[in-house]
Structure 1
Amino acid sequence: MSHPKNTQIEPLASAVATDVVKPSNFLRQIIESDLAHGSYASRKWGGSPGDAAHHAKGQPDPAKIRTRFPPEPNGYLHIGHAKSICLNFGLARDYGGVCHLRFDDTNPEKEDTEYVNSIIDSVKWLGFEWNGAPDAAPYQASDYFDFMYRAAEYLIEAGHAYVDEQTAEQMRVNRGDFGKPGINSPYRSRTPADNLARFRQMRDGLYEDGAMVLRAKIDMASPNINLRDPAIYRIRRATHHNTGDKWCIYPMYTYAHPIEDALEQITHSICTLEFEDQRPFYDWLMARLIEGGLLASPPPHQYEFARLNLTYVITSKRKLAQLVYDHKVSGWDDPRMPTIVGLRRRGYTPAALQMFAERIGVTKSDSWIDYSTLEGCLREDLELKAHRGMAVLNPVKLVMTNWDEVMGAGHLEPCSQPALPHAPHGASSGAAPEGTEPPPARQFTIGKEVWIDREDFEEVP
């Protein structure tokens, strides 16, 4: 399994930047500790994603770490995604690593190439390259479907998975709750041969959608409900935007995501806190597939951080989509939308969003960030970039009646003001010091008639 378009991958940076000291956080501390102890120094890289045999033929990985940004292409990215992009790509840049852009396209009914293209454009606009090479093709989870199926068959043969024919309601009831252990499925004791035969029948389309699922066989009495035999494959007849109608069974996200990370040799899999309870299954699956020789060791490790909560801003992709589909806004790029394309159209810059992501930091606890912090980052970025102008929004004409006798009839007085008032020398009317560029200025004239704001002249103040 390989990606011939990306045969040579180089790290984004060769070493940690020494000229700029980055604010530390728990993720940086983890990465620095891993690098100091050589936790991933033994890894090999086969030149593209692949299984254990593929990477064993490769060279020592030139990337010191590998991170990833794995959006699902079911909508446009928003300000919360911008934080994740800057975090993952920034860590790879700062520690001599590579960040992968990967589409987690395991849910064919909600995904579309429109969203794929918009995500690619947004990441580029923010100033990042992915997969270790300029113009490299993004990775796609759907490219790994063959391996995921192969891994599922291995789990069945090893006695770690079984086909369950209970209804969704029966599985929900038998799963138990936080105070009551689950009940084993009546189909849990089937032989690996029987399970493998039924799973292949699922693949061949012999059953209706929802008739059965493939479940991992772990522990129905586990205090972590996510380990009570989670579903890893379901029947879903839907045309996929990448694989078409090749498959009528699709992997569940919690099964697919760890495998994607491992095939890409990700070292630090960084996600938001809602996936913390899924980490034990992530680790369980990695251990089983490494035991079977399907995946290379050491495996990736998942780390969680608090998602962005911004005052006065909706960061639910579902709710943002509802605003678009209900025509409450003009589109995903409406300047009122917190999407990256909306912020871009409103005038936000990539540097401002990167500064915002750096400034708010990374923590394990939920907190709210005031919207003024984002606005402050934009002001700070534009301070020395955006040339000043002037407009009178509520004008009233002012006529200077003695202009002609003092200045001469028809005279226009040339004037100038600094275009960047707070730039070096911008507030000074004198010449720039030798060897420096003169500050930019805006030129205009004043005559007998000028416009002033109506509030500046009121007969009754």
Structure 2
Amino acid sequence: MTDAAESPRTHFIRQIIDADLAAGIHERIITRFPPEPNGYLHIGHAKSIVLNFGLAEALGGRCNLRFDDTNPHKENVEFVEAIQADVRWLGFDWGERCYFASDYFEQLYGFALELIEQGLAYVCDLSAEQMRDYRGTLTEPGRDSPWRERSISENRELFAQMRAGAFPDGARTLRAKIDMASPNINLRDPVLYRIKHGVVHHQTGTAWCLYPTYDYTHPISDALEGVTHSLCTLEFEDHRPLYDWVIAHVSVPSRPRQIEFSRLNLEYTVMSKRRLTELVSEAQVNGWDDPRMPTLAGLRRRGYTSAAIRVFCERIGITKSDNRVEMAMLENAIREDLDATAPRRLAVLRPLKVVLTNYPKEQTEYVELANHPKIATLGTRMLPFAREIYIDRADFEETPPKGFKRLIPGGEVRLRGAYVIRCDAVIRNDAGEIIELHCSVDFDTLGKNPEGRKVKGVIHWVAVAHAVPAEVRLYDRLFNVPLPGAGGSDYRADLNTQSLQVLTDVMLEPSLRAVQAGERFQFEREGYFVADLDSTLEHPVFNLTVGLRDTWDKG
């Protein structure tokens, strides 16, 4: 895996920053990652994290972590801590530079007074509904608020009363005085402050009932921190004139430059934090770290590595063109990573008992298997082999389809690392269901393939007496279609009802008995799996990370 900080950059943002540094505009770059703590980070945020922290690392600059905590009714400490954990997990460190927009509330208030004193901000009594009506449309200009020409002294006094809690929610706002006829609706006297009572802020408690908007807070926070390049996704492009207006009209110590890039749109999932919140609150998933979620916590629990996430972010690139990324790109990144690092193990997901009738009843021998076919330093392990074993039900067919190379009545197959066996009899219960196979062992085939014997199939197995019972959770894509909710339909209608299948009678090789949560393995012929947080010594639990190949039905 290539580290983000070491890989060359050719995208347009790197070119802009290189030119600024070469021209002496900045001695070093300062970027920032500014999440709102109203939910867990998702894979789209990873793109921004890798870009902002990665550029700072590569160019000898620094990147701040700053929480946009201006909507306290949606935010809490759990989300703050989860975001910090995710950034650290991706391999980045903000050092002592963890900030909150609320750190600047007093300064933001002072800058608002500066705007009032310049006649560039006013207290407005229009309700939210009236304000929408006055705002105009994309083709029609807006209308001035009846309160737009209040005197500076009256605005100053009313704004102080707003801070003191003299008015109820929604009664008044502070608005910038820019241009109600501007073709950019964001410049039609945007709201800078609104009143919010009855909210306990996770950083400031009940000290404030007056909260600044993001469009006002963000540029000032950037400037106070000395940010040189404020990197945002494309939806903020139309907000850039307001960003620049705020910076130009208050006495901040620096003038950051905002640059926009395309956000990550990943197939077969939703990237809206509002929708992700709905999935959690409506119990469509089992929390923010459900392995089907595109959250970094969910991907981590599913077994994704930070290295794979960073490589994925590198591969999709940085552009100004909106596009949709195939889920296979993300899956291939983790598959490549785990193929090179995950030890191999045997696990029978759907057990079918096999009795080796000519094998001594009391005998147990041990066969040696490599822990990785390409990495000798990972060593080998010894697996017990005995008269009774489990194989996977999918590895036996009475009436095999064309091309079937596994076990059939009268046919032979090699057991991975052990003997060739032949199926002699099929045992059924009273309902006619197959419950057991009786097979015979060719004792001359241990570790050999005698000349003249062509056995095409190789299957995995676990000795019955030594098998470790376990639970395995098979996770699939959360939605059935690449673009959930396309055409304005309810995205929930596209949920994949088969996205989780729980297998409770899985049998594992004995070396998997004492694994720790987070350990990753390739279950041979099945896929890559990770020990879940729920896993215990008495009850191992594994999650499917990704299959050995892309088997998704693309229709």
Structure possessing the higher relative contact order (Cα contacts under 8 Å, 6 or more residues apart): 1
Indicate the SS of the match to 1:239: coil
Within the candidate set 258, 261, 279, 2:222 is matched to 261
Letter paired with 1:269: S
1:421 alignment counterpart: 373
Contact 1:411 1:447 in 2 (8 A): yes
Q: In the superposition, relative to structure 1, how do residues 454 and 164 fare at CA in structure 2: closer, same or farther (>3 Å)? A: closer
1:39 is aligned to 2:3: no
Kept in 1: contact 2:215–2:243 (CA 8 A): yes
In structure 1, the residue matched to 2:144 is 184
TM-score (norm 1): 0.81
**C-alpha distance in 2, partners of 1:201/1:457?**
79
CA distance in 2, matches of 1:250, 1:455: 60
TM-score scaled by length of structure 2: 0.68
Match of 2:322 among 339, 354, 366: 366
Per the TM alignment, residue 396 of structure 1 is displaced from its structure 2 partner at its CA by 3.4
For 2:127 and 2:355, locate their aligned partners in 1 and report how far apart those are by CA, in whole Å: 83
Find the residue that maps to 1:109 and give its secondary structure.
Answer: helix
Between the aligned partners of 1:138 and 1:21, the Cα distance in structure 2 is 26
Is 2:55 aligned against 1:125?
no
- Residue 155 (structure 2) aligns with: 195
Shift of 1:75: 1.0
What letter corresponds to residue 34 of structure 1 in structure 2? D
Paired with 2:205 and 2:316, the residues of 1 have a C-alpha distance of 41
**Alignment partner, residue 304 of structure 2:** 348
2:343/2:378 contact within 8 Å kept:
no
Aligned counterpart for 1:208 among listed residues 168, 184, 187: 168
- Give the match's secondary structure for 2:108: helix
How far apart are 1:458 and its partner, in Å?
3.2
Map of 2:123 onto structure 1: 163
Q: Distance in 1 between matches of 2:127 and 2:378?
A: 73
- Contact kept, 8 Å, 1:383 with 1:420, in 2: the verdict is no
State the distance in 2 between where 1:330 and 1:170 align: 41
Give how far 1:447 is off: 4.1
- The answer for the alignment partner of 1:321 in structure 2 is 277
Say whether the 8 Å CA contact 1:398–1:450 is kept in structure 2.
Answer: yes
Name the structure 1 match of 2:252. 295
Matching of residues 40-79 of structure 1 within 5 Å = 40-41=26-27, 64-79=28-43
Match of 1:25 among 11, 20, 24: 11
Which whole-Å deviations, capped at 9, do the CAs of 1:383-434 have from their partners, x for residues lacking one? Answer: 2221001122333344445556xxxx866554323212233xx4xxxxxxxx
CA distance in 1: counterparts of 2:9 and 2:58, whole angstroms: 12
Which structure has the larger Rg? 2
Deviation of 1:455 (Å): 3.9
Q: 2:295 aligns with which of 312, 326, 339?
A: 339
What letter matches 1:295 in structure 2?
V
Q: Partners of 2:260 and 2:178 in 1: how far apart?
A: 23
What amino acid maps onto 1:129 in structure 2?
D
Counterpart of 2:190?
A: 230
Match in the other structure for 1:11: none
**Alignment deviations for residues 64-98 of structure 1 (CA, whole Å, 9 cap, x no partner):** 11111111111111111122111111111111111
User: Which residue of structure 2 aligns with residue 6 of structure 1?
Assistant: none
Q: Residue in 2 aligned with 1:10? A: none
Q: Distance in 2 between matches of 1:203 and 1:306?
A: 38
**Distance in 2 separating the partners of 1:258 and 1:127:** 27
Partners of 1:456 and 1:249 lie apart in 2 by 66
Question: Paired residue for 2:286, among 323, 326, 330?
Answer: 330
CA distance in 2, matches of 1:230, 1:307: 25
Q: 1:441 aligns with which of 371, 380, 383?
A: 380
Which structure has more strand as a fraction of its residues? 2
Residue pair 2:344, 2:372 contacting (<8 A) in 1 also: yes
For residues 442 and 355 of structure 1, the distance between their equivalents in structure 2, rounded to whole angstroms, comes to: 32
C-alpha separation in 1, matches of 2:206 and 2:228: 33
Q: 2: CA distance between counterparts of 1:210 and 1:459?
A: 72
Q: Which stretches in structure 1 are left out of the alignment for 5+ residues?
A: 1-15, 42-63, 427-437
Contact 1:233–1:250 (CA under 8 A) maintained in structure 2: yes
Of Structure 1 and Structure 2, which has the larger fraction of its residues in helix?
1
Label 1:139 to 1:175 Cα distance change in 2 as closer, same or farther (>3 A).
same
Distance 1:95 1:111, change over 3 A: same
Give me the CA root mean square deviation.
Answer: 2.0
Displacement after TM superposition at 1:181 (Å) = 1.6
Q: Secondary structure at the match of 2:116?
A: helix
- Name the structure 2 match of 1:152: 112
Partner secondary structure for residue 444 of structure 1: strand
Q: For 1:218 and 1:39, locate their aligned partners in 2 and report how far apart those are by CA, in whole Å.
A: 29
Q: Secondary structure of 1:188's partner?
A: coil
Between the two proteins, the alignment pairs up a number of residues equal to 396
1:115 and 2:79 correspond: yes
Structure 2 spans left out of the alignment, 5+ residues: 401-555
State the percentage of identical aligned residues: 56
Query: Separation in 2 of the partners of 1:71 and 1:191?
Result: 37
Partners of 1:383 and 1:422 within 8 A in 2:
no
Distance 1:449 1:217 in 2: 82
Distance between the aligned counterparts of 1:248 and 1:214, measured in 2?
13
Q: How far does the alpha carbon of each residue in 1:337-372 deviate from its partner, in whole angstroms, 9 at most, with x for none?
A: 221111111111111111111111111111111111
CA 37–459 in structure 1, closer or farther in 2 if over 3 Å, else same: same
Name the CA shift for 1:445/1:245 in 2 (closer, same or farther; >3 Å). Answer: closer
